[in-house]
């Protein structure tokens, strides 16, 4: 089936399903408040993703998620995973699930910034929350309520299904000793991080992952960010770049999401809904654990197998980046009530939890290891 026909069919089916759902609201609500009755009925879903095939951890995480749901449901839910570009282009995942063309989708919320800028806060924003803080905000600080509310407008139920942890600051072919070194710098950096880079005097270049190695090698770009040591090593950046900077100020703890068509989720029996929720929690923990473990291992490989200089950004540079990020946030939220609402929730929580982490983890990391 062609992608265009696939999406068209999904949109038509979504409209018809919505009419039927409205006609049967009382019956559906009643059936979901009673006891869960296990039947032999098979539910077959499609999961479209933003990831290329066999992409380490992320594509694997999608397939694990499908497997766990299938096993826990006793085979009642079968999910077929389609990597980016098979049924729909990667960045049309949101629209495909919203329309009902696919029941599930896996990606990152900042990919949908063009639909609603506020979505970016549910993935990662410059100088935002760490992975641990992100989970605390979402599951203990009201973040999931905002997340669910905003996505409901698009017929979606969002779930957090992974986190990359804090990322690296990027690969450079010139040293970044001062703020002046950003002047004229051409760097692959999407999203809000790219806007901060531009405020620093650089140029944000948008390039797909498949072109990054060649573009950096040929000087089309001066620098690139990707994810962290594990994926960066497999991309081969340590073979062509001179400097590897940290920390990843632009992505301090990037949450991954799995979105489910709201109508399809609500049509599940209560026990199957809980199985889906539980699998998402497991995926969230599994993916973060894989990144933390692999990044440590592959950082050592980069050190052992190359002459790359692994360097921290100076305090001067980080302070300037943060100042520009705050300017960017002020502009973003000035005329967008939804973005301001989520922004205020994130920064209020960040202030509160940072005080606790100053007392607990920061002291431990700085002095007690």
Backbone angles phi, psi at 261, to 5 degrees: -60, 125
353 versus 32: the higher-pLDDT residue is 353
pLDDT for residue 13 is more than 70? no
Instruction: Tell me the residue length of the chain.
Output: 369
* Strand 309-312 versus strand 243-246 pairing type: parallel
What is the structure's pLDDT at 368?
A: 58
What is the structure's pLDDT at 18?
A: 40
Q: What is the DSSP string of 329-354?
A: HHHHHHT-HHHHHHHHHHHHHHHHHH
What is the structure's pLDDT at 363?
A: 73
The mean pLDDT of the chain is 90
What is the structure's pLDDT at 345?
A: 98
| pLDDT, average across residues 272-300 | 97
pLDDT for residue 272 is more than 50? yes
Of 181, 162, 158, 199, which is closest to residue 55 (Cα–Cα)? 162
| Chain centre to alpha carbon of residue 192 | 13
pLDDT tens profile 173-211: 999 999 999 999 999 998 899 999 999 999 999 877 778
What is the structure's pLDDT at 23?
A: 41
Q: Which CATH number fits domain 3-16+42-164+253-292: 3.40.50.970, 3.40.190.170, 3.40.50.2300, 3.30.450.20?
A: 3.40.190.170
What is the structure's pLDDT at 24?
A: 39
pLDDT tens profile 231-263: 999 999 999 999 999 999 999 999 999 999 999
What is the structure's pLDDT at 20?
A: 37
pLDDT for residue 35 is more than 60? no
What is the structure's pLDDT at 206?
A: 80
pLDDT tens profile 118-158: 999 999 999 999 999 999 999 999 999 999 999 999 999 99
pLDDT for residue 36 is more than 70? no
Token code pair at residue 117: 């800028």
| Percent of the chain residues past pLDDT 90, beyond the cut | 81
- On whether the CB atoms of residues 276 and 260 are closer than 8 A, the answer is yes
- On whether the CB atoms of residues 230 and 297 are closer than 8 A, the answer is yes
């Amino acid at each position: 089936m062609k992608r265009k026909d696939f999406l068209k069919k999904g949109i038509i089916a979504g409209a018809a399903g919505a009419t039927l759902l409205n006609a049967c609201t009382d019956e559906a609500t009643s059936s979901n408040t009673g006891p869960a009755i296990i039947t032999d009925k098979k539910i077959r879903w499609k999961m479209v993703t933003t990831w290329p095939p066999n992409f380490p951890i992320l594509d694997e995480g999608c397939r694990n998620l499908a497997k766990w749901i299938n096993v826990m449901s006793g085979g009642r839910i079968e999910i077929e995973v389609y990597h980016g570009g098979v049924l729909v282009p990667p960045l049309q995942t949101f629209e495909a699930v919203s329309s009902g063309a696919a029941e599930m989708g896996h990606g990152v919320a900042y990919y949908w910034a063009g639909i609603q800028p506020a979505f970016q806060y549910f993935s990662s924003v410059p100088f935002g929350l760490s992975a641990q803080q992100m989970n605390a905000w979402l599951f203990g600080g009201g973040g999931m309520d905002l997340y669910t509310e905003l996505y409901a407008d698009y017929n979606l139920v969002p779930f957090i299904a992974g986190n990359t942890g804090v990322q690296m600051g990027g690969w450079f072919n010139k040293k970044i000793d001062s703020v002046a070194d950003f002047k004229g710098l051409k760097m692959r950096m999407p999203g809000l991080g790219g806007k901060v880079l531009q405020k620093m005097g650089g140029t944000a270049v948008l390039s797909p992952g498949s072109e990054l190695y060649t573009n950096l090698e040929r000087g089309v770009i001066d620098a690139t960010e990707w994810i962290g040591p594990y994926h960066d090593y497999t991309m081969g950046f340590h073979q062509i770049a001179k400097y590897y900077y940290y920390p990843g100020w632009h992505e301090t703890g990037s949450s991954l999401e799995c979105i489910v068509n709201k109508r399809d989720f609500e049509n599940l029996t209560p026990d199957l809904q809980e199985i889906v929720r539980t699998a998402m929690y497991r995926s969230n923990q599994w993916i973060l654990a894989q990144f933390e473990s692999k990044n440590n291992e592959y950082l050592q490989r980069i050190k052992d197998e190359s002459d790359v200089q692994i360097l921290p950004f100076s305090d001067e540079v980080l302070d300037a980046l943060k100042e520009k990020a705050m300017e960017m946030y002020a502009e973003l939220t000035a005329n967008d009530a939804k973005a301001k609402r989520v922004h205020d929730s994130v920064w209020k929580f960040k202030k509160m939890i940072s005080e606790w982490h100053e007392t607990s983890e920061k002291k431990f990391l700085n002095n007690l290891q």
